[in-house]
């Protein structure tokens, strides 16, 4: 039976050496909690459900003991350990993962290290994870890879298992392209291409998803359509899946007798004072010192709260081996001492500071007891503490003060949202929170609690995996549309047996690659020879269906004796005949539109203006890709408004915006030609949006092929112009006959 293979840097337990052997201690954390909730439900609903978790066990295990540990982990915990050396941990985990990617993705570029040795370790360790996954993988399994430590793994697995179902989820922010561009070229290209080895890429917020798609476009040149990226005959999708928590676990725990007892003990300790609660790992992204500065500003601005409030600050030790974190701990200690020394007394300690991890009961007791939670990271992928605080409030009271830089702020808009960099905002939010009536607290919290309950950890995992299955199914449909060798043979046989054939071929992007300038895309000798050979074997007609003007087509293909349709259907010329207009057309509108296009040529370096008899075009293939795309959207908006009362239409093609007469399109021209020939075999090939009119107009039994993009009304698709030429050559060879 197909299984779920979860892959993360760490296993859901840590291996610890003990007297007499190795033992395992359960790990905590948002990912483990979220997936544990989902896995428990999946197993309860389906006794045949299987999952294997691949990851590092958190310790350097001697080679002689690895086989035994792996067997025990697989049998007892359904886990498959990946063993790393101390050098690997130093260079891969502490190095590239946490000294390069972590600060860069959290907008701390001055902390980023660019160490080739660490990059090499990152590549090598991702390959170790690949080998481990391949050891446990069975055909049909779903592989779900997690987080920034394993960004190369999806592509590495894809190279080994082309048909595997692979998902990737990033649990930290994905930064803007301005940050990604700081990485060396090969690194950023491999990281982005690595992630796109996955069928589905998930992020916590829409902002992160858009940053990723933007970076893919800027770095790799791959554009998207509604989050879908076409890579050859495959489609990758990037989407948003905000991770949830086990809401019921916290809501139920808040009334558990052990938690109520712990809450009573804590309440005695604060002697009736109002409690402000905060818990975080020790990390520069959490903004803990900024939070202390905000609390200090609160005590300065609002002295009436002196001796009436206590700030319970819990900091969980993290990455203690890193010098930078040691300096941070020292600075934190100094700030706590300074504030307590400045405002405290023998009866009142403003900050109750703990540098340790909390057990679950103490954590929920503090959540439930505190009338205010101060959660203000400088940058955070999601921040589940904010969600846990709300879930631990059965009576819906309490006030969440949340940083706008946390991903959770996109979901928890009823909280008091602050900029964590400004002490005055934190101070004012504390004043508002501590004085907020219970009715307002409940009015704010209940909608947030309802959302958290509806989209909990189980729903998050189900949503991702269901979407992954849909993406894979869509790819299967696209794969069947890809023009296989067998289907090409069948088409060639139909072509050879046809009484009258009609071949309709777009030119740019279909028969030749795109050129930087339109006039540079003249046909090569191979293409001219191929079309000539095909014309000699075709009983009916071959038509080049192009957006180019008739003079250019006549100049390039006049000697080949093929039919031509110019300017997207405005002009039609059968072989050996004169050009004729499809319908009576006006061109006086060009005088009004041309100045607008010329303005954009002047504004956007590298863009070109092209005038044809019945159309105008603005080309931006040579422009900066982002600037060109942005200006194209602006131009389309402007032209659409300006031409509202004119009998013209505005089209967007591949790196071109074109204005032409209404009612003129490739489909109408093709129908005219087909009505005159009455063919029993029709083949049409094109590569952009203007060819969709052609595909829609064809009869159901016609062979229609879209080159490049998989999203089309065409029945089949091919990768590029080389595939098209090979198909035409096969038609020539199959038809037989002498030249």
Q: Of the residues 91, 141, 506, 549, which is catalytic?
A: 506
Q: Does a structural domain hold residue 472?
A: no
Give every CB contact of residue 591 below 8 A, 6+ residues apart in sequence.
Answer: none
| Higher per-residue confidence, 100 vs 715 | 100
Task: State mean pLDDT over 296-323.
Answer: 91
Would you say the C-alpha torsion 270, 276, 280, 284 has a positive or negative sign? Answer: negative
Q: Does a structural domain hold residue 391?
A: yes
Q: Does a structural domain hold residue 56?
A: yes
State whether 377 and 404 are in the same domain: yes
Q: Does a structural domain hold residue 501?
A: yes
Q: What pLDDT is recorded for position 736?
A: 61
Task: State mean pLDDT over 162-175.
Answer: 97
Task: State mean pLDDT over 79-93.
Answer: 95
Q: Does a structural domain hold residue 628?
A: yes
Q: Give the lowest-confidence range in 94-103, 323-332, 345-354, 464-473.
A: 323-332
Residues 499/502/503/504 CA torsion (nearest 10 deg)? -170
Is 80 exceeded by the pLDDT of residue 320?
no
Q: Does residue 506 have an active-site annotation? A: yes
Task: State mean pLDDT over 677-702.
Answer: 89
State whether 403 and 294 are in the same domain: yes
Residue-by-residue DSSP string for 675-692:
HHH--SEEEEEE-STHHH
State whether 606 and 711 are in the same domain: no
501 has which bridge partners?
Answer: 540, 681
Q: Find the CATH number of the domain harbouring 655.
A: 3.30.70.1020
Is 70 exceeded by the pLDDT of residue 716?
yes
DSSP class of residue 289 equals H
State whether 257 and 377 are in the same domain: yes
Distance CA 369, CA 641 (A): 59
Task: State mean pLDDT over 557-566.
Answer: 89
State whether 647 and 677 are in the same domain: no
Q: What pLDDT is recorded for position 629?
A: 84
Is 80 exceeded by the pLDDT of residue 123?
yes
Mean residue pLDDT across the chain: 91
State whether 301 and 327 are in the same domain: yes
State whether 153 and 268 are in the same domain: no
Q: Does a structural domain hold residue 463?
A: no
Is 80 exceeded by the pLDDT of residue 321?
no
pLDDT in tens, 195-242: 999 999 999 999 999 999 999 988 998 888 788 888 866 789 999 999
State whether 136 and 193 are in the same domain: yes
Rounded to whole angstroms, what are the CA distances from 601 to 350, 547, 605, 638, 658? 64, 20, 7, 15, 13
Q: What pLDDT is recorded for position 437?
A: 97
Domain stops at, among 661, 692, 721? 661
Q: What percent of the chain has pLDDT over 70?
A: 98
Q: What pLDDT is recorded for position 232?
A: 67
- 402: tokens are 């949340």
- Burial of 436-462, coded b for 16+ CB within 10 Å and e otherwise, reads beeeebeebbeebbebbbebbbbbbbe
How many domains does one find in the chain? 4
Task: State mean pLDDT over 380-402.
Answer: 97
Q: Treating both helix axes as pointing N-terminal to C-terminal, what angle do 185-195 and 153-160 enclose, rounded to 10 degrees?
A: 60
Give every CB contact of residue 294 below 8 A, 6+ residues apart in sequence.
Answer: 374, 376, 420, 422, 423, 424, 425, 426, 427, 430
Task: State mean pLDDT over 699-711.
Answer: 86
Domain stops at, among 608, 638, 661? 661
Domain stops at, among 661, 692, 722? 661
Q: Is 319 left (phi over 0), alpha (psi -120 to 50) or beta?
A: left
Instruction: Please report which confidence band the pLDDT of residue 739 belongs to, taking 50, 70 and 90 as the band edges.
Output: very low
| Higher per-residue confidence, 388 vs 578 | 388
Distance CA 358, CA 680 (A): 77
Q: What pLDDT is recorded for position 479?
A: 61
Contact of 561 with 625, CB cutoff 8 Å: no
State whether 40 and 64 are in the same domain: yes
Contact of 601 with 608, CB cutoff 8 Å: yes
Is 60 exceeded by the pLDDT of residue 307?
yes
- 254: tokens are 């808040």
Distance CA 192, CA 217 (A): 10
Q: Find the CATH number of the domain harbouring 82.
A: 3.40.50.2000
Is 60 exceeded by the pLDDT of residue 336?
yes
Distance CA 239, CA 201 (A): 6
| pTM for the model | 0.82
Task: State mean pLDDT over 386-404.
Answer: 97
pLDDT in tens, 630-647: 888 888 888 888 888 888
Distance CA 354, CA 357 (A): 8
Q: Does a structural domain hold residue 102?
A: yes
Is 60 exceeded by the pLDDT of residue 738?
no
Distance CA 276, CA 247 (A): 22
Distance CA 352, CA 309 (A): 11
**Quick one: 664 exposed, middle or buried, by C-beta within 10 A (0-12, 13-18, 19+)?**
buried
Residue 173 structural domain: 4-240
State whether 145 and 13 are in the same domain: yes
Find, among 103, 97, 101, the residue nearest to 122 by Cα.
Answer: 97
pLDDT in tens, 30-71: 788 889 889 988 898 888 899 999 999 988 888 888 888 898
Instruction: Output helix, strand, coil percentages for the chain, rounded to the nearest 5.
Output: 50, 20, 30
- Residue in the block written with tokens 């990737």: 168
State whether 77 and 183 are in the same domain: yes
Task: State mean pLDDT over 670-681.
Answer: 90
pLDDT in tens, 461-485: 999 999 999 999 887 766 658 888 8
Q: Does a structural domain hold residue 461?
A: no
State whether 94 and 199 are in the same domain: yes
Instruction: Please report which confidence band the pLDDT of residue 255 belongs to, taking 50, 70 and 90 as the band edges.
Output: very high
Distance CA 631, CA 603 (A): 9
Task: State mean pLDDT over 669-686.
Answer: 91
């Amino acid at each position: 039976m197909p299984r779920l293979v979860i892959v993360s840097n760490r296993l859901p337990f840590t291996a610890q050496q003990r007297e007499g052997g190795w033992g395992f201690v359960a790990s905590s954390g948002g990912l483990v909690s979220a997936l544990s909730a989902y896995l428990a439900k999946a197993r309860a609903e389906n006794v045949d459900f299987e999952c294997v978790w691949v990851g590092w066990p958190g310790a350097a295990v001697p080679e002689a003991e690895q086989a035994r540990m792996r067997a025990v982990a697989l049998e007892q915990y359904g886990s498959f350990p990946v063993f790393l050396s101390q050098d690997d941990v130093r260079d891969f985990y502490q190095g590239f993962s946490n000294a390069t990617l972590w600060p860069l993705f959290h907008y701390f570029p001055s902390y980023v290290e660019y160490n080739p040795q660490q990059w090499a370790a990152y590549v090598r360790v991702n390959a170790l994870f690949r080998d481990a996954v391949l050891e446990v993988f069975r055909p049909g399994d779903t592989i779900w890879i997690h987080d920034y430590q394993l960004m190369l793994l999806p592509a590495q697995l894809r190279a080994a298992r082309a048909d595997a179902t692979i998902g990737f989820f990033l649990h930290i922010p994905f930064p803007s392209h301005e940050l990604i561009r700081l990485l060396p070229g090969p690194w950023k290209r491999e990281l982005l291409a690595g992630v796109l080895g996955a069928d589905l890429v998930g992020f916590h917020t829409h902002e992160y998803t858009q940053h990723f798609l933007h970076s893919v476009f800027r770095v790799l040149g791959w554009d998207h359509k509604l989050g879908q990226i076409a890579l050859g005959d495959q489609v990758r999708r990037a989407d948003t899946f905000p991770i949830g928590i086990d809401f019921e676990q916290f809501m139920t725990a808040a009334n558990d007798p052990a938690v109520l007892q712990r809450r009573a003990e804590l309440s005695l300790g604060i002697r009736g004072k109002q409690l402000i609660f905060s818990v975080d790992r020790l990390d520069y992204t959490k903004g803990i010192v900024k939070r202390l500065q905000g609390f200090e500003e609160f005590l300065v601005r609002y002295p009436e709260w002196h001796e009436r409030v206590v700030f319970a600050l819990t900091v969980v030790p993290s990455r203690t081996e890193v010098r930078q974190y040691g300096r941070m701990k020292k600075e934190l200690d100094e700030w706590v001492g300074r504030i307590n020394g400045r405002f405290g007394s023998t009866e009142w300690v403003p900050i109750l500071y703990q540098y340790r991890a909390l057990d679950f009961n103490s954590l929920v007791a503090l959540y439930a007891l505190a009338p205010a939670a101060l959660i203000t990271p400088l940058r955070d992928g999601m921040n589940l503490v904010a969600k846990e605080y709300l879930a631990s409030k059965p009576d819906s009271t309490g006030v969440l003060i949340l940083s706008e830089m946390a991903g959770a702020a996109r979901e928890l808009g009823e909280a008091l949202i602050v900029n964590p960099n400004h002490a005055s905002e934190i101070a004012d939010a504390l004043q508002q929170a501590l004085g907020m009536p219970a009715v307002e607290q409940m009015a704010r919290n209940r909608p947030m609690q309802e959302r958290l309950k509806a989209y909990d950890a189980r729903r998050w995992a189900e949503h991702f995996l269901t979407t992954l299955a849909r993406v894979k199914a869509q790819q299967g449909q696209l794969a069947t549309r890809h023009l296989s060798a067998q289907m090409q043979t069948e088409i060639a046989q139909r072509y050879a047996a046809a009484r009258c054939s009609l071949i309709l071929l777009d030119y740019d992007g279909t028969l030749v690659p795109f050129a930087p300038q339109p006039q540079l895309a003249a046909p090569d000798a191979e293409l001219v020879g191929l079309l000539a050979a095909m014309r000699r074997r075709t009983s009916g007609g071959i038509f080049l269906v192009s957006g180019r003007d008739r003079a250019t087509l006549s100049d390039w293909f006049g000697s080949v004796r093929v039919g031509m349709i110019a300017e997207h259907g405005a002009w039609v010329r059968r072989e050996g005949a004169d050009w004729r207009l499809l319908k009576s057309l006006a061109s006086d509108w060009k005088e009004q539109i041309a100045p607008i296009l010329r303005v954009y040529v002047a504004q956007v370096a590298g863009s070109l203006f092209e005038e044809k008899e019945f159309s105008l075009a603005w080309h931006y293939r040579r422009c900066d890709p982002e600037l060109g795309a942005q200006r194209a959207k602006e131009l389309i908006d402007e032209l659409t408004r300006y031409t509202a009362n004119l009998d013209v239409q505005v089209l967007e093609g591949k790196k071109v915006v074109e204005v032409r007469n209404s009612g003129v399109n490739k489909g109408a021209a093709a129908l005219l030609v087909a009505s005159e020939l009455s063919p029993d075999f029709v083949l049409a090939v094109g590569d952009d949006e203007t060819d969709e009119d052609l595909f829609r107009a064809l009869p159901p039994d016609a062979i229609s092929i879209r080159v490049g993009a998989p999203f089309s009304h065409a029945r089949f698709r091919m990768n590029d112009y080389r595939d098209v030429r090979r198909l035409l050559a096969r038609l020539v060879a199959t038809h037989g006959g002498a030249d």
